[in-house]
Amino acid sequence: MARVQAVCAARCGDAPRALLLGVTPEYALLPWPAATRLTAVDKCADMIAKVWPAKRLPGSFRAMEGQWTDLPLPDQSVDVAMGDGISTVLPHWSLMDKILSELYRVCAPGSTVILRLFVQPDTPDTLEQLMDDLEVGCIQGFHAFKLRLLMLLQRDLASGIQPRQAWQTWHALRRQHAASIEARRWPVPVMDTIEAYASSSDTYWFPKVGEALQAFDRHFAPREIHYSDVELGNRCPIFVLERRA
């Protein structure tokens, strides 16, 4: 979040018109300039009601129900747009181009788009590598393990990965590698977060960095890519893009 804050401070100016794809509270609660006008767009009214921190935000900040593929904003009305993990939750990866086209429409010339995406390594993991890393203590948190598992199960970007496949694989691994998993001493409630995948009908999409850049290229020029030093920070880079003329 500190990196997003630094990019915004460097690129947003004194009175930015900001767009947030989704209702990530941490983005809305950044120390924005006093004259900022921010619009958050999410397709789920329940998510807005549950997550949007309206009472902690100025009156010039609002959250609206809407689709990212048909943003309820005028042309060239945004100076900075942001999104956190937006490619992961799409019905299909091909919709990313439509979202980028909409961002291009609503963004003013020279505006900045800041996107954090979850990305595949150029050489995907295998299950054997995952469990070897677990054995030698190279995986600290369960959420890092879960993310690596999801990514390695994705055959290619066109196919994506259904989370319930990760749930099935996890339970098989838990039986086959019980001692190694027990040795990590992950809290049971944390491990149980994967149970939500059992009934999920979603599909997740994890592009490689090159695939993400290719998707951006028609409408946005990459200016910076930032990686954090947290566990698996190399798999959740922040892309700083500039709207093409």
Q: pLDDT tens, 104-157? A: 999 999 999 999 999 999 999 999 999 999 999 999 999 999 999 999 999 999
Instruction: Give the H or E element holding residue 114.
Output: strand 107-116
Residue 9 has a pLDDT of 75
Least reliable range by pLDDT among 6-20, 128-142, 222-236: 6-20
Asked whether 131 and 178 are in contact (CB, 8 A), the reply is no
Residue 4 has a pLDDT of 77
Taking only the tens place, the pLDDT of each residue in 56-92 is 999 999 999 999 999 999 999 999 999 999 988 888 9
In the chain, which ranges are continuous DSSP H helix? 2-11, 25-28, 45-51, 95-106, 127-135, 142-153, 163-176, 178-183, 188-191, 209-216
Residue 5 clears pLDDT 90, i.e. is over it: no
Residue 88 has a pLDDT of 86
Residue 3 clears pLDDT 80, i.e. is over it: no
Asked whether 209 and 114 are in contact (CB, 8 A), the reply is no
Six token digits for residue 107:
């963004």
Instruction: Give the H or E element holding residue 39.
Output: strand 37-42
Residue 55 burial (C-beta neighbours within 10 Å; 0-12, 13-18, 19+): exposed
Q: Which residues contact 88 (CB under 8 A, 6 or more apart)?
A: 117, 118, 204, 205, 206
Taking only the tens place, the pLDDT of each residue in 36-52 is 999 999 999 999 999 99
Give the span between the Cα atoms of 245 and 239, in whole angstroms.
19
Residue 97 burial (C-beta neighbours within 10 Å; 0-12, 13-18, 19+): middle
Residue 32 has a pLDDT of 94
The single-letter code of the amino acid at 12 is C
Residue 55 clears pLDDT 90, i.e. is over it: yes
